[in-house]
Amino acid sequence: MVGLTETVLRDGHQSLIATRMRTRDMLPAAERLDAIGYRSIEVWGGATFDVCLRFLHEDPWERLRELKRRMPRTPLQMLLRGQNLVGYRHYPDDVVRAFVDEAARTGIDIFRVFDALNDPRNMETALRAVKRAGARAQGTICYTSSPVHTLDAFVALGKRLAELEADELCVKDMAGMMPPGDGAALVRALRKEVGLPVVVHTHSASGLSTLTCLAAADAGAEAVDGALSPFAGGASQPPTETLVGAMRGSPVDPKLDLGALAELAAYFRGVLDRYRSLLEIRSLQTDPGILTHQIPGGMLSNLLSQLREQSAIERLAEVLDEVPRVRADLGYPPLVTPTSQIVGIQAVLNVLGGGRYRQVTNEVRDYVRGLYGAPPGPLDPGLVARVTSGAAAITVRPADLLPPELDKAAAELRALVPAADTAEVLSYAVFPLVYRSYRRSVDLGLTPDVLTAAALGVVGALRQPRAAPATGPGSVASSTSGPASAWALEGRVRLQTQRRWVDAAHGHPRR
Ligand code: CO
């Protein structure tokens, strides 16, 4: 029997509607979700934290508390970006430990911890904190395809994660490019060589995911990830009901009630209707292109919007040829946030900037110096010479260069909000600027309901006395009006946060 992890409350809506599902659309389904018998339900982490504060004006901790209250039975799961937590830069160890502690205390039972470069040093502090908090630590292997990503290399990483006391392993196919045969072989090898339970996370982009999940289950996977059908397919996970239906009666039958799942699907179909304007047809379609060019869908849309902004869309073919070359020069990083942006932006510069590496981004410089972690394969020596001009690379764990930040964050926030609790301090420590503007909206009475009403043009809501001072068209429109394209907006947000990463990185190791 294989377990199922339900992603509709996290990756499902992150992948299809830019993470915009509100807590109030989740809560009515929580008790029924809890009764299904899932192995776990993913409810937190990834982009949900950022989007809650930045766009929904919701407290992510409050969401978790409310969900936990209604789902006491099923283990709740989160996606944690290793040393990056739920943000886009490395945080110092004191922030990582406190964040994991508070998340476990508030209701997370299983932490899926990954690093974009598969560098175990970037997962170490988080994994140890999860263990100390008494929660379940899922050490993650980001799947990608390259000359250095061999079965042996993945197994070696699995062994290292086991040494770091991971309770189980996750194979994370974030680009949706893992063929069933590779998935099965990887599960079998990890089971045999490492011995820990293995769970498999895929995305449906190329159309392979359902097949890959079946093959992984047959090969002995402990669990696979699915999303209830309204939030499944395309950029999201394979549909939960399809997985259950496909395995019914087989030795791996997850034994979940298809009727109960259908009722939940009907509920979430209604939810999706409320977010229809955020749904792009392309994110629902099957795109096997990744099987040839290996560029994940999210990265492709970012490249398209970059080229459009520079009126250079006709250079797309050249950029698509350049991406694998830059990736090779950088030692074949898996293409996932933030490496997909680092590679993509540099590839565009190499094509439009009058020659390869004539201009080099700060991110590429930092990457080459080792500030993101150890690249999977060797860097191109010519690029290293050009970028570092003789300066020594960083060989220590990047977070070793970061001084503690938690006390400073607590002091700063409590100067503004004297009664701030640990959870609020952590929100501030992770996203200080976003949290400040979130607090301002909350203090002005700009609750999600008021904002939604305002965005819908309900004049009465705008006249509520407490909301009045800040409901000028600018403030409301800038925070809630639906973007013309959710993906384009997400691309811009990523670029912005990427820049902040750079600022932050420069603030610490370099001074
Ligand atoms: Co995912």
Say how many Å lie between the CA of residue 210 and the centre of ligand 1. Answer: 14
Q: How confident is the model at residue 131 (pLDDT cuts 50, 70, 90)?
A: very high
Distance 450 CA to ligand 1 centre (A): 31
Separation of CA 7 and ligand 1 centre (Å) = 9
Mean pLDDT of the chain: 89
Q: How far apart are CA 179 and CA 186, in angstroms?
A: 11
Query: Mean pLDDT across the stretch 253-278?
Result: 97
Q: What is the largest CA-CA distance in the chain?
A: 65
In this prediction, residues 416-437 reach a mean pLDDT of: 96
- Cβ neighbours for 88, distance < 8 A, ≥ 6 positions apart: 337, 338, 494, 497, 498, 500, 501
Strands 198-202 and 136-142: what pairing? unpaired
Distance from the alpha carbon of residue 46 to the mean position of ligand 1, in angstroms: 9
Asked if the model's pLDDT at residue 277 lies above 60, the reply is yes
Residue 96 CA to ligand 1 center (angstroms) comes to 21
Residue ranges near ligand 1 (ion) with Cβ within 5 Å: 11
Instruction: Convert the pLDDT of each residue in 329-339 to its tens digit.
Output: 999 999 987 89
- Report whether 296 contacts 335 (CB < 8 A): yes
In angstroms, what is the span from residue 204 Cα to ligand 1's centroid? 10
- Write down how long the chain is: 511
Residues 310-326 have a mean pLDDT of 94
* Arithmetic mean of pLDDT, 157-166: 98
Residue 214 amino acid letter: L
Output the pLDDT for position 292.
Answer: 82
DSSP letters, 18-46, are TT---HHHHHHHHHHHHHH--SEEEEEET
The pLDDT value given to residue 92: 98
Q: Give the per-residue pLDDT at 275.
A: 96
Q: Give 419 Cα–ligand 1 centroid separation in angstroms.
A: 36
CA of 393 to the centre of ligand 1 (A): 32
pLDDT for res 195 = 98
Spatial separation of the C-alpha atoms in residues 120 and 160, rounded to whole Å: 7
Residue 210, pLDDT above cutoff 90: yes
- Dump pLDDT digits (tens) for 28-56: 999 999 999 999 999 999 999 999 999 99
- CA 237 to centroid of ligand 1, rounded, Å: 7
- How far is 421 from 404, CA to CA, in rounded Å? 19
Burial label for 176, CB within 10 Å (0-12, 13-18, 19+), is buried
Alpha carbon of 45 to ligand 1 centroid (Å) = 11
Q: How far is the CA of 11 from the centre of ligand 1 (A)?
A: 6
Q: Is residue 141 over pLDDT 80?
A: yes
Find the distance separating the first CA and the last CA of the chain, reported in whole Å: 54
Cα 414 to middle of ligand 1, angstroms: 35
Return the closest-CA partner of residue 15 out of 42, 37, 40, 33: 42
Residue 176 Cα to ligand 1 midpoint, Å, equals 9
Predicted local distance difference test score (pLDDT) of residue 296: 82
- The rounded distance, in Å, linking the Cα atoms of 487 and 47 is 13
What is the Å distance from ligand 1's center to 188 Cα? 22
Least confident of 161-165, 185-189, 287-291, 506-510: 506-510
At 393, list the tokens: 């690379």
Residue 173 alpha carbon to ligand 1 centre in Å: 7
| Dist. CA 356 → ligand 1 center (Å) | 32
The DSSP 8-state label assigned to residue 277 in this structure reads G
Q: Mean pLDDT throughout 363-376?
A: 95
The confidence score (pLDDT) of residue 457 equals 60
Distances in Å between the Cα of 367 and the Cα atoms of 121, 250, 359, 376 are 15, 47, 15, 12
Q: DSSP secondary structure string, 468-494?
A: GGG--HHHHHHHHSPPS-HHHHHHHHH
Q: Exposed (0-12), middle (13-18) or buried (19+): which is 119, by Cβ within 10 Å?
A: buried
Ligand 1 center–CA 49 separation, angstroms = 15
Q: How far is the CA of 357 from the centre of ligand 1 (A)?
A: 31
Task: State the distance from the centre of ligand 1 to the C-alpha of 236, rounded, in angstroms.
Answer: 7
> Ligand 1 mean position to 174 CA, how many Å?
5
pLDDT tens digit sequence for 176-209: 999 999 999 999 999 999 999 999 999 999 999 9
State in Å: Cα 205 to ligand 1 middle: 11
pLDDT tens per residue, range 221-251: 999 999 999 999 999 999 999 999 999 999 9
Q: How far is the CA of 15 from the centre of ligand 1 (A)?
A: 8
| Cα-to-centroid distance, 114 and ligand 1 (Å) | 11
Q: Cα of 281 to ligand 1 centre, how many Å?
A: 19
Report CA(146)–ligand 1 centroid distance (Å): 20
Question: Which has the closest alpha carbon to 26: 328, 201, 353, 267?
Answer: 267
Rounded to two decimals, what is the model's pTM? 0.87
